[in-house]
Structure 1
Amino acid sequence: MAKKDPTDLSVEEKLKTLYQLQTTLSAIDEKKALRGELPLEVQDLEDDIAGLNTRVEKIKGEIEDFQQAVSQKKSEINEAQASVERYKKQLDDVKNNREYDTLTKEIEFQTLEIELCNKKIREAGIKVEERQNDLKHAEELIADRRQALEEKKNELDEIIDETRAEEERLKEKAKDLEIKIEPRLLTSFKRIRKNARNGLGIVYVQRDACGGCFNKIPPQRQLDIKMHKKIIVCEYCGRIMIDPELAGVKTETPTEEKPKRKRAIRKTRSTKTGELKGVPTDRLS
């Protein structure tokens, strides 16, 4: 038997199918709500770990740069010391004061270079020690975050395992229902549902009001909704409206209280004073 084209469905059938889809999607939302904030917490922990790993790599790079700088300064110190030794030997062979002063200044300059390099090495050593402390702290944070992440993931996996079968069944049902709805109407429904805070794209009338935003619906519009002649949306929130009876929802009809009967009072004239007195009719016989 050929499947009925979604565009050939009556408005009543379209509304019924849409409402069935809404209840199915709401049930899926409830299953997801059982997970609470766990997915977000897992994502936050994963982001924290990624950020800390980047920080660790950066610190390691800085430590390597400082160590390379120390090696370079040590090499410069060796070259300066070699120059000092060479200049000192040349002092023994100087022929005049000018050569002596020049060599003396060179020795003094190289000695200052050695002192400067030693200062830079000490500063780099302090920086390396600071960065190593930062590295140790970052690695401890990573270990802590990974432990917390593992706990959160295990907790989330347990909840997902408990609801996976039911959620998959609901998703399959939702897919089957979506096939029965014409694409343009389905797209509009999904857009309305996405913009709604409670995820309701189609609602039924409750106590003469919209079941989504609870604004009053005029009687004529309620009559149009009950007629099922066209798709009607709430003029306030934009949700699709459906008659409760068509949605299969039982609504309570308010019972009107009967007004209390007042006892009639009959006026009689006193035989002595001639005054009228109020006497309940149920006492007259």
Structure 2
Amino acid sequence: MATQKKTAEADYSMQEKILALYELQKIDSKIDGINKVKGELPLEVQDLEDEMAGLKTRIENVNAEVEELNALTKQRKREIDQARIQIGNYKEQQNNVRNNREYDAITKEIEYQELEIELAEKRLKEYAAGIRGKKAQLEEAEAAAAERGSDLEAKRAELEGIEAETAPRVAEYTAQAEMAKERIDERLLAAYERIRRNVRNGLAVVTVRRDACGGCFNRIPPQRQVDIRQGKKIIVCEYCGRILVADPEVAEE
């Protein structure tokens, strides 16, 4: 690429570079026109893909929360079973106590285990309510994902159809643009790309018609128009910053 740019600087005059810029602009405008056919489809597809990714993450998180609640439910049920076994053992021990102190101590252990069962059962109710809530969220997210997935599939198919139809022309224009770029030095090309990014319609190079800038339509002074026609240096519009060139069609006339 560097060798190509050096060759361009050595072999082409400034006027030829300016004309190459104008040619490049016309080609890029054709590509812009093709891209306009897509409208908002690329953004819509991207938005739907992002939304689908978010819904997928949400579904995964809810499923993980449900699994955690199920695991806690199993743990609390085991604790209840163990507490009941302990209570059974303590009641058997009560039948063999030797004094009231031992009896009272075992009774306290039984009461403690009963409180543990009561607390665990309370937690089980909370987990059950939590699982119901999570499943409702899951159903909502899955329904939204199915709907968005259907929209995404339709939008993607529409976009792919347009891209397939326009691909040959885009490839042809892209090849033409690369040929035009070979006649433009790197610094000038960078300026052109920067201006294109900063203007709404992508027009970085415009002609002077009826004594006015073809981009912002502000009047261009006569002497400046003479300099533009001579094509000895790059001249930009002092109002909009676009590169100004003489209209080749008018020049031919």
- TM-score range (shorter-chain normalised) is over 0.9
Match of 2:61 among 52, 58, 62: 58
Tell me how far apart the structure 2 counterparts of residues 18 and 249 of structure 1 sit (CA, whole Å): 17
Q: CA deviation at 1:17?
A: 1.0
Q: CA deviation at 1:125?
A: 1.0
Q: CA deviation at 1:158?
A: 1.5
Task: Flag structure 1 segments of 5+ consecutive residues without an equivalent.
Answer: 253-285
Structure with the bigger RCO (C-alpha within 8 Å, sep 6+) is 2
TM-score w.r.t. length of structure 2: 0.93
Q: CA deviation at 1:16?
A: 1.2
Within 5 Å, which residues of 2 pair with 1:183-194? 183-194=186-197
Find the counterpart in structure 2 of residue 281 from structure 1. none
Matched, 1:19 2:22: yes
Within 5 Å, which residues of 2 pair with 1:81-160? 81-160=84-163
Contact 1:24 1:174 survives alignment (8 Å): yes
Find the counterpart in structure 2 of residue 48 from structure 1. 51
Find the counterpart in structure 2 of residue 231 from structure 1. 234
Matched, 1:177 2:174: no
Segment of structure 1 superposing worse, 29-38 or 149-158: 149-158
Segment of structure 1 superposing worse, 37-46 or 202-211: 202-211
Match of 1:33 among 20, 33, 36: 36
Structure 1 runs of 4+ off > 2 angstroms? 247-252
Q: May I ask how many residue pairs the two structures share in their alignment?
A: 248
Task: Flag structure 2 segments of 5+ consecutive residues without an equivalent.
Answer: none
Contact 2:204 2:242 survives alignment (8 Å): yes
Seq. identity, %? 48
TM-score w.r.t. length of structure 1: 0.83
Larger radius of gyration between Structure 1 and Structure 2 = 1
Tell me how far apart the structure 2 counterparts of residues 251 and 93 of structure 1 sit (CA, whole Å): 121
Name whichever structure is richer in helix by fraction: 2
Summarize deviations over 1:52-85 as a string: whole Å, max 9, x none.
0000110011001101101111111111111111
SS in 2 for 1:205: strand
Tell me how far apart the structure 2 counterparts of residues 218 and 5 of structure 1 sit (CA, whole Å): 34
**Aligned AA (1:201):** A
Compared CA separation, residues 59 and 147, structure 1 to 2 (3 A): same
Find the counterpart in structure 2 of residue 198 from structure 1. 201
Contact 2:16 2:183 survives alignment (8 Å): no
Segment of structure 1 superposing worse, 171-180 or 226-235: 226-235
**Aligned AA (2:141):** A
SS in 1 for 2:109: helix
Compared CA separation, residues 250 and 144, structure 1 to 2 (3 A): farther
Q: CA deviation at 1:149?
A: 0.7
Match of 2:7 among 5, 8, 11: 5
